[in-house]
Amino acid sequence: MEMGIVFMPLRIGIPRALYYYTFIPLWERFFYELGFEVVESGITNKEIVDMGVRTAVTDACAPVKIFQGHAEWLARRANVDVVFIPRMVSFEWGYVFCPKFLGLPDMVRATIDNMPRIIDTEFDLRKGPGALLRSLVRLGTELGASRGKALVAAVKAIRHFRQVGWTDYARRERRTGENTQRAVVTIGLVGYPYIVHDQFLGGDMVNLLESAGVKVLTIEDVSSEQVRSEDRSLEKQVFWHYSNRTIKSAYYLMRHGLIDGLVHATAFSCGPDAIVDKFLELDCKHQFGVPYLSLSVDEHSGRAGIVTRLEAFLDMLLRKKGVRAERQLSDCIRAGQGRRVS
């Protein structure tokens, strides 16, 4: 009796870094519709960071070094057939991604030995209506799918992404938000998603604050329409994609009185983010009167330093309201559970 041939689905590796935190709902659904298996790299840890630091160019910011580590982890640990590292140029008219995003495929190829095949489809939505659909179809055919099947998969993936938006990942990663409905203090924690939601790089600040009973609003809690409503807030637009989202989300939260204080999580040595940080610092003080904390992180940042600064900031906000913290953030970490600020 002849044995049938078993065809294994194509295994596609996706680094869990940078634009992963925004676009994974789109990529994941598209590859699923094509019948491929998605393999994500592990959650950022010291091993992954050390991999990235060892092979990345020395002047790269921490998020890029971490991306490099995730790409190498896929090559060494995951047994994938291809690694998906798209060239992200623009996903919104008038705004572009950091140039380092565009060069990621070349950087990884040049610095990591024995990498699997890298798929580096370009996404530039400035090329007119249907640009996203065309890029996805091109991606599908490059992976061996027929044009018709790639088209159907692209339509379903885009529809899914428009329904869940880029908030999908952030929502499913937040563990304690449902316990903060009656929180005394609301903090706006803004910054690039790949800093705020990377638990290693960002010190797991969202869940840390929510475990202490603080309500946390991030840029994912501000819709695209609300972001665009702040277009006139700046005389000159910030043309970087994530910088634009960060600064205008912060302005919206402050202008509508939704937060008691603002925390900006920023990556050390990121040029565009340094501009955003200065805008927020000045306007928090002179325009909105909202307490402001800038937290700069890099691959060497320790969680203890983040906790100490957040504790001091939270204590100041509570004192302004005439209440005190029932439990410090450091206590919440040791206890492994949250108690409400009261």
The third-level CATH classification (topology) of the domain covering 174-335 is Rossmann fold (3.40.50)
275 class by beta-carbon count within 10 Å (0-12 exposed, 13-18 middle, 19+ buried) = middle
CATH number for the domain formed by residue range(s) 11-166: 3.40.50
d(CA 253, CA 219): 9
Q: For the chain, which residues make up each domain, given as ranges?
A: 11-166, 174-335
Q: State the virtual CA torsion across 127, 63, 51, 121 in degrees, nearest 10.
A: -10
Query: Would you say 281 and 292 are in contact if contact means Cβ atoms under 8 Å apart?
Result: yes
11-166 and 174-335 in the same fold: yes
Interval 175-213: pLDDT, tens: 555 555 567 889 999 999 999 999 899 888 898 888 888
Interval 218-256: pLDDT, tens: 999 998 899 999 988 888 888 899 999 999 999 999 999
Which strands, in side-by-side order, build the sheet including 292-297? 215-217, 186-190, 261-267, 292-297
Specify the pLDDT at position 271: 79
d(CA 44, CA 49): 7
First-residue to last-residue Cα distance in the chain: 72
- The token duo for 196 is 């705020």
pLDDT band at 153 (very low <50, low <70, confident <90, very high): very high
DSSP codes of every residue in 34-49:
TTPEEEEPPPP-HHHH
Q: Is 166 helix (H, G, I), strand (E, B) or coil?
A: helix
Mean of all residue pLDDT scores within the chain: 86
Of 82-91, 92-101, 261-270, 324-333, the range with the lowest mean pLDDT is 324-333
Interval 54-100: pLDDT, tens: 988 877 889 999 999 999 999 998 889 999 999 999 988 889 998 88
Interval 27-61: pLDDT, tens: 999 999 999 999 999 999 999 999 999 988 877 88
Specify the pLDDT at position 328: 62
